[in-house]
Structure 1
């Protein structure tokens, strides 16, 4: 064993460095569901900056030092406070914000989002099922993103107003009627934030023929 370790010392050091890099500095995250459509599609693999907010001890939620604060509009990977599953959603409420939704219109601190450039879509679901929907640009608190609504899908379209507690965050999926987000799992503590997703690394159409989506390679996440 000692002889084998000596012979493969360089490779083992590489593995240790690579493991540390992925666990503490940068990571990638496959997108398995449509909760962030149209921003992220099933089959996208996104790059995640683990140092965007905190430097943590690898394999733990223990932060050694804070490096930055999450901002509204960031697309963030985090661990669900309900079941421990890794999720990716858009941050819409930071500590102290008052969040409300009325008939699916988002309000932050009393200001309503504006919706422009609305278009009708046909959205694919599982098992070949499709539903009609609406896709629009949502503008609020200086942020702009494309979101979509699926009126025939049951979702929580009214809540609040609620105040985001200290050291916790409120998330929504861009696919508002098909996302298990903070409307259902509650506020997310900062210690469960993993990192900020910033670019699409690779993408393939996993819902159909697994064909690579070359046009999405390297695309910046808005």
Structure 2
């Protein structure tokens, strides 16, 4: 074994550096489901900044220092508090926020979001093609020029049974409420509960590459390098 390491030390060094990069600095994650339609598609591979919130010991989850805090509107990867599965959702409510949903309309601290129709399309749920409605969701109209965080596109699928109403709940300190942009087809905080900060992995920044793996595997070059915070 020692001889193998000695003879392949450049390869071993590459593996170590690769592991450090992916576990402490930046990572890339494929999108496996439709929960973030219309902004993320199956077959997208997103760049995740693992230093957005914490500096961790490479190859571990041990936090050395806090580097930043999640903001409303951030798309983040995290471990599910239910079973540890790696998920990607959007931060909708911060610690101390009072959040509720009334018939699909989101309210943060008593202020309801505004919605504007973007387009209608078709989406597939459980193998069935259904009409989908894409909306611009504006949480803070007074500051709507900050498009990267306060305005985003979400998707509703009329007729699908989903938890689209829940009473006011206060987000506990050190936790976050996450929702998928595909509101009627997402197992998010309405299912798995609030997400503790210690389970956050990083902030997704942009699409690196994309391919239609459910169809003909053709690359979607128009999505290469696309920012996740443009409406």
Q: Quick check: TM above 0.5?
A: yes
Name the structure 2 match of 1:180. 187
Distance 1:31 1:15, change over 3 A: same
Name the structure 2 match of 1:88. 88
Q: Separation in 1 of the partners of 2:190 and 2:153?
A: 19
Instruction: Tell me the TM-score normalised to structure 2 length.
Output: 0.92
Q: Separation in 1 of the partners of 2:54 and 2:131?
A: 40
State the secondary structure of the residue aligned to 1:22.
helix
- Runs of 4+ aligned residues of structure 1 deviating over 6 Å after TM superposition are none
Q: Separation in 1 of the partners of 2:171 and 2:201?
A: 19
Show structure 2 runs of 5+ residues with no match. 144-149
Name the structure 2 match of 1:155. 162
Name the structure 2 match of 1:167. 174
Cα deviation digits, residues 108-141 of structure 1 (max 9, x gap): 01110000134322113354x2101211100003
User: Is the 8 Å Cα contact of residues 123 and 131 (structure 2) preserved in structure 1?
Assistant: yes
User: Is the 8 Å Cα contact of residues 172 and 179 (structure 1) preserved in structure 2?
Assistant: yes
Instruction: Tell me the TM-score normalised to structure 1 length.
Output: 0.96
1:211 CA displacement: 1.3
Name the structure 2 match of 1:104. 104
Name the structure 1 match of 2:61. 61
Q: Separation in 1 of the partners of 2:162 and 2:117?
A: 23
Name the structure 2 match of 1:19. 19
Residues 1:113 and 2:113 aligned together = yes
Show structure 1 runs of 5+ residues with no match. none
Residues 1:123 and 2:130 aligned together = no
Name the structure 1 match of 2:10. 10
Q: Separation in 1 of the partners of 2:206 and 2:118?
A: 25
Aligned-residue RMSD, C-alpha: 1.2
User: Is the 8 Å Cα contact of residues 54 and 66 (structure 1) preserved in structure 2?
Assistant: yes
Q: What number of residue pairs does the alignment pair up? A: 221
Name the structure 1 match of 2:75. 75
Q: Separation in 2 of the partners of 1:61 and 1:19?
A: 13
User: Is the 8 Å Cα contact of residues 117 and 133 (structure 2) preserved in structure 1?
Assistant: no
Q: Separation in 2 of the partners of 1:15 and 1:120?
A: 46
Name the structure 1 match of 2:147. none
1:59 CA displacement: 4.4
Residues 1:28 and 2:28 aligned together = yes
